[in-house]
């Protein structure tokens, strides 16, 4: 008997595999595999989450109005141009479905975030990669790869897993070189960590025309990954399209109240940034001291090159670290099989990483 078949391309999708969260035989692993916040969420966000417990029988606000108004106030944006999603992954996914389909191309840089090809393929569109230069997106290569079939260009800025970023003038050059019919999505999942004068998450580019969207998340600096909450600033017409395709209650009530409290706790966000400003350069320097190449990162993570084969290869390092209870991220699916990505953790976690990598490089047995 015939059975239902998904559309072309769906069975070619390799399902997304999240970072490891358990190591056999280790009671409490050092989990540095998913770029979560080292210091966790604001206590005010946790209180807001707890306070919702008596309201679990109520549907959430389908328009996420208080959340949109808070984001609008803090960032100085028009609330009607803000959209929210069940993680920024959901926004990426629905925008891709709405703007690309079979016969279309979705473009991103060679080591770009994995959700871009996954969303493209789920929509039946063709994912296209543009080469990078020194692990950084290349505006020239992206523009060269644009064809009549290109519908969306995704740029994670900073990018995961490389941690590199493009300065604002380069992103503006990318936008200026794209036809107006191409949607440019600037994914600022790590924007809050970046303190470089030449960096911008892209709000001014969204304002400058009709084809740029900036996505953000509460999963990283706000420490609310479990609640799944993302937002985006869009042209009005794109916000309108999003509201047509998203499910009516896609952002749960706990995420909405915790998101409001987290964004209002500016001191906590500052503390998370300060922590990263201390420990990210420290971990980078320690890895360099051990003779390893570290891709220059502006995020809350670093990607370190071990090698593709032999006893010091990235896969060996990952397995060794895991046996010691240190969970890092293998990034072979990003075309970086020779590298390992480490999220910046608390001081003892960062020190545990350096101890474990030192032991690995010295050929110690676990
Ligand atoms: C570049 C980038 N964009 C988007 C996301 C998705 O974040 P969210 O938890 O909001 O779905 C991630 C998560 O790792 C990311 O690294």
CA distance 125 to 69: 34
Instruction: Please report, rounded to a whole number, the percentage of residues in the chain having pLDDT higher than 70.
Output: 100
Ligand 1 atom closest to Cα of residue 228: 9
Mean pLDDT of 97-119: 97
- Please name the residue that has the structure tokens 């090698």: 307
Task: Give the closest residue to 106 by CA, choosing from 93, 115, 96.
Answer: 96
Count of C-beta atoms within a 10 Å radius of residue 161: 28
346 lines ligand 1 (CB under 6 A): no
Q: What is the pLDDT of residue 302?
A: 98
To the nearest 10 degrees (0 to 180), the angle between helices 88-99 and 236-245 is: 100
Mean pLDDT of 297-308: 97
In whole numbers, what is the pLDDT of the chain averaged over residues?
96
Does the domain made of 43-265 have the CATH classification 3.40.630.90? no
217 lines ligand 1 (CB under 6 A): yes
| Residues paired with 129 in a beta bridge | 108
Q: What is the pLDDT of residue 365?
A: 77
Distance 301 CA to ligand 1 centre (A): 13
- State yes or no: pLDDT of 364 exceeds 80: no
35 lines ligand 1 (CB under 6 A): yes
CA distance 105 to 340: 29
Confidence tier at 26 by pLDDT (50, 70, 90): confident
Cα distances (angstroms) measured from residue 47 to each of 29, 73, 331? 26, 22, 35
**Which of 137, 220, 250, 251 for mutating ligand 1's site (highest number of atoms within 8 Å of CB)?**
220
CA distance 211 to 175: 9
10-31+267-361 folds as 3.90.1150
Confidence tier at 9 by pLDDT (50, 70, 90): confident
Domain residue ranges of the chain, discontinuous segments joined by +: 10-31+267-361, 43-265
Please give the structure tokens belonging to residue 217. 């998340």
Q: What is the pLDDT of residue 25?
A: 84
Mean pLDDT of 100-121: 97
29 lines ligand 1 (CB under 6 A): no
**What 3-state DSSP class applies to 159?**
coil
- State yes or no: pLDDT of 239 exceeds 80: yes
């Amino acid at each position: 008997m015939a059975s239902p078949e998904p559309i072309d391309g769906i069975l070619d999708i390799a399902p997304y595999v999240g970072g490891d969260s358990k190591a056999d035989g280790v009671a409490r692993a050092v989990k540095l595999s998913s770029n979560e916040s080292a210091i966790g969420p604001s206590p005010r966000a946790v209180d807001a989450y707890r306070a919702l417990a008596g309201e679990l029988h109520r549907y959430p606000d389908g328009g996420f109005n208080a959340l949109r108004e808070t984001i609008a106030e803090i960032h100085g944006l028009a609330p009607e141009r803000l959209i929210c999603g069940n993680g920024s992954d959901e926004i990426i996914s629905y925008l891709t479905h709405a703007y690309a389909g079979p016969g279309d191309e979705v473009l991103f840089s060679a080591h770009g975030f994995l959700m871009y090809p996954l969303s493209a393929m789920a929509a039946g569109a063709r994912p296209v990669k543009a080469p990078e230069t020194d692990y950084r997106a290349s505006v020239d290569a992206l523009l060269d790869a644009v064809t009549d079939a290109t519908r969306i260009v995704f740029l994670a800025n900073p990018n995961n897993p490389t941690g590199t970023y493009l300065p604002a003038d380069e992103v503006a050059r990318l936008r200026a070189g794209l036809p107006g019919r191409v949607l440019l999505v600037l994914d600022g999942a790590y924007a809050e960590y970046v303190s470089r004068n030449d960096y911008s998450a892209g709000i001014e580019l969204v304002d400058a025309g009709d084809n740029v969207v900036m996505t953000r998340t509460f999963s990283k600096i706000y420490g609310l990954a479990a609640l799944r909450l993302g937002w985006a600033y869009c042209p009005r017409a794109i916000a309108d399209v999003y509201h047509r395709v998203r499910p009516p209650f896609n952002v749960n009530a706990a995420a909405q109240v915790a998101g409001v409290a987290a964004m209002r706790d500016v001191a906590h966000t500052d503390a998370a940034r300060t922590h990263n400003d201390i420990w990210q350069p420290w971990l980078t320097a320690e890895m360099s001291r051990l003779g390893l190449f570290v891709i220059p990162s502006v995020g809350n993570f670093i990607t370190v090159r071990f090698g593709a084969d032999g006893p010091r290869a990235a896969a060996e390092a990952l397995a060794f670290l895991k046996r010691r209870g240190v969970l890092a991220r293998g990034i072979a699916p990003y075309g970086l099989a020779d590298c390992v990505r480490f999220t910046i953790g608390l001081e003892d976690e960062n020190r545990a990483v350096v101890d474990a990598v030192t032991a690995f490089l010295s050929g110690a047995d676990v």
